């Protein structure tokens, strides 16, 4: 039943949750006005009191739903989905711009592969913001998706389409996530657990317009992504060898912590500097394809700046995974504690 072909042509509804979208949101709607066919429904869900985004959406003549209270993009997407008429729900973020062929690629994906339940894309290789962190982070995301397996294990709310009947059969996004978080990843886990197929379509791309700074990047990466994703991994016991969870990434985390330990140990014995050099060479070798990508795309000096940030990414990701694991085990111990105490008292 789950892999039966869809007998009718795909009709698409684009759903955009927004909260204080600003100029990026205006560019998002401008791209839709330019590239979205007239028969594609566009629904904007303004998530809470946010007059600017509501007014911007009205300027473009799209369907606008206004929520009284900000409850997060998961709930906003679900409400938009319930109002949608298309049999394909195409979710995009308010800080992305579609490209000339983005919607065509969605149509092609579901028309040519009737067995899939969902399709996700990637950011393109020309990010909207020019500062180093924005270029680095968005290009790294592009590289990660472009080199990943086409048979995906997760969904992606920034550029992800799903069959309407499948979406509602699983209950939509998990509304317990009240911030822009991993609600899309969690939906993807439920999709694959239920036996549905998700396709990573590498030609389906959008442009990310977000400006990343040090604080905003670390806050999003650690608190809204790494920590809750760790909880999800432990909940589902699912650690896939793909995307950010690949074997090379896991090994790089171990090497980065070993490198840090070697540098600290060298304060007592200089011989550990040789160990640090060996570990650094291993890290460079394992991630050579990443740095070669940045070298070709942005030049030598940019690629050189990428290396410490990339290693720092492994450091805080590994630390977040460790903290999340401790939290998970502590919570399980707390839940089991009463039954253990009761059993011992008998």
Summarised one tens digit per residue, pLDDT across range 271-326 is 889 999 999 999 999 999 999 999 999 999 999 999 999 999 999 999 998 898 88
Shared-domain flag, residues 291 and 262: yes
Separation of alpha carbons 246 and 256, rounded Å: 16
pLDDT computed for residue 329 by the predictor:
78
Does the residue 56 lie in any domain? yes
pLDDT computed for residue 48 by the predictor:
87
CA Rg value for the chain: 22
Does the residue 339 lie in any domain? no
Say if CB 322 and CB 230 are below 8 A apart. no
Shared-domain flag, residues 65 and 169: yes
pLDDT computed for residue 325 by the predictor:
85
Q: What is the mean pLDDT of residues 154-168?
A: 96
Domain termination residue (choose one: 179, 212, 245): 212
**Residue-range definition of the domain harbouring residue 297:** 215-332
Nearest to 312 by CA among 259, 245, 275: 259
The number of folded domains in the chain is 2
pLDDT computed for residue 31 by the predictor:
97
Q: What contacts 273, CB < 8 A, 6 or more positions away?
A: 262, 263, 266
pLDDT computed for residue 248 by the predictor:
86
Residue 3 in this model has a pLDDT that exceeds 50: no
Shared-domain flag, residues 36 and 163: yes
Give the pLDDT band of residue 247 (cuts 50, 70, 90). confident
Does the residue 162 lie in any domain? yes
| Most confident range, picked from 19-23, 51-55, 158-162, 262-266 | 158-162
Shared-domain flag, residues 229 and 296: yes
**Residue spans of beta strands (DSSP E) within the chain:** 12-18, 41-47, 63-67, 88-92, 96-98, 118-123, 151-152, 159-163, 198-208
Residue 5 in this model has a pLDDT that exceeds 60: no
Provide the mean pLDDT of the chain.
89
Output the domain CATH number for residue 24: 3.90.550.10
Shared-domain flag, residues 35 and 162: yes
Separation of alpha carbons 182 and 53, rounded Å: 23
Say if CB 227 and CB 323 are below 8 A apart. yes
Q: What is the mean pLDDT of residues 186-193?
A: 94
Q: What contacts 61, CB < 8 A, 6 or more positions away?
A: none
Give the pLDDT band of residue 231 (cuts 50, 70, 90). confident
Does the residue 234 lie in any domain? yes
Give the pLDDT band of residue 153 (cuts 50, 70, 90). confident
Does the residue 187 lie in any domain? yes
Say if CB 281 and CB 287 are below 8 A apart. no
Does the residue 342 lie in any domain? no
Shared-domain flag, residues 223 and 257: yes
pTM of full prediction above 0.75: yes
The tokens for 333 are 């111990």
Shared-domain flag, residues 299 and 324: yes
Residue 88 in this model has a pLDDT that exceeds 80: yes
Q: What is the mean pLDDT of residues 188-208?
A: 96
Domain termination residue (choose one: 196, 212, 228): 212
Shared-domain flag, residues 219 and 190: no
Separation of alpha carbons 60 and 55, rounded Å: 9
pLDDT computed for residue 342 by the predictor:
46
Does the residue 305 lie in any domain? yes
Separation of alpha carbons 339 and 319, rounded Å: 31
Q: What is the mean pLDDT of residues 167-176?
A: 96
In this structure, are strands 12-18 and 88-92 parallel, antiparallel, or unpaired? parallel
- Give CA separation, 93 vs 26, 53, 225, 322, in Å: 12, 13, 16, 30
pLDDT computed for residue 302 by the predictor:
98
Give the pLDDT band of residue 1 (cuts 50, 70, 90). very low
Residue 9 in this model has a pLDDT that exceeds 80: no
Say if CB 217 and CB 136 are below 8 A apart. no
Shared-domain flag, residues 240 and 275: yes
Shared-domain flag, residues 204 and 257: no
The tokens for 18 are 């927004």
Give the pLDDT band of residue 344 (cuts 50, 70, 90). very low
Domain termination residue (choose one: 212, 235, 260): 212
- How many alpha carbons fall within 13 Å on the CB side of residue 54? 10
pLDDT computed for residue 100 by the predictor:
96
Shared-domain flag, residues 207 and 287: no
Does the residue 337 lie in any domain? no
């Amino acid at each position: 039943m789950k892999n039966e072909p869809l007998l009718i042509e795909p009709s698409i509804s684009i759903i955009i949750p927004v909260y204080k979208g600003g100029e990026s949101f205006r560019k998002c709607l401008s791209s839709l006005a330019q590239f979205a066919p007239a028969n594609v429904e566009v629904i904007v869900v303004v998530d809470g009191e946010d007059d600017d985004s509501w007014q911007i959406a009205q300027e473009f003549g799209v369907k606008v739903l206004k929520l009284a209270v900000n409850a997060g993009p998961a709930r906003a997407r679900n409400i938009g989905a319930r109002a949608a008429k298309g049999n394909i729900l195409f979710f995009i973020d308010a800080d992305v711009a579609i490209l000339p062929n983005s919607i065509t690629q969605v149509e092609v994906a579901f028309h040519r592969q009737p067995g899939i339940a969902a399709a996700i894309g990637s950011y393109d290789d020309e990010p909207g913001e020019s500062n180093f962190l924005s270029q680095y982070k968005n290009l790294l995301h592009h590289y990660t998706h472009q080199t990943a397996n086409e048979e995906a294990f997760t969904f992606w709310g920034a550029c992800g389409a799903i069959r309407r009947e499948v979406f509602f059969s699983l209950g939509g996004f998990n509304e317990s996530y009240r911030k822009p978080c991993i609600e899309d990843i969690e939906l993807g886990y439920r999709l694959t657990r239920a036996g549905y197929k998700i396709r990573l379509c590498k030609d389906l791309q959008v442009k990310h317009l977000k400006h990343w700074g040090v604080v905003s990047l670390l806050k999003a990466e650690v608190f809204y992504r790494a920590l809750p994703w760790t909880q999800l991994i432990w909940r589902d016991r699912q650690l896939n060898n793909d995307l950010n969870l690949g074997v090379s990434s896991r090994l790089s985390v171990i090497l980065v912590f070993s490198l840090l330990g070697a540098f600290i140990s060298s304060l007592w014995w200089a011989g550990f500097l040789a160990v640090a050099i060996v570990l650094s060479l291993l890290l460079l070798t394992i991630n050579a394809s990443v740095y070669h990508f940045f070298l070709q795309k942005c030049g030598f000096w940019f690629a050189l700046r990428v290396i410490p940030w990339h290693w720092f990414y492994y450091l805080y990701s590994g630390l977040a995974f460790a903290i999340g694991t401790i939290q998970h085990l502590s919570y399980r111990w707390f839940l089991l504690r009463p039954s253990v105490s009761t059993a011992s008292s008998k």
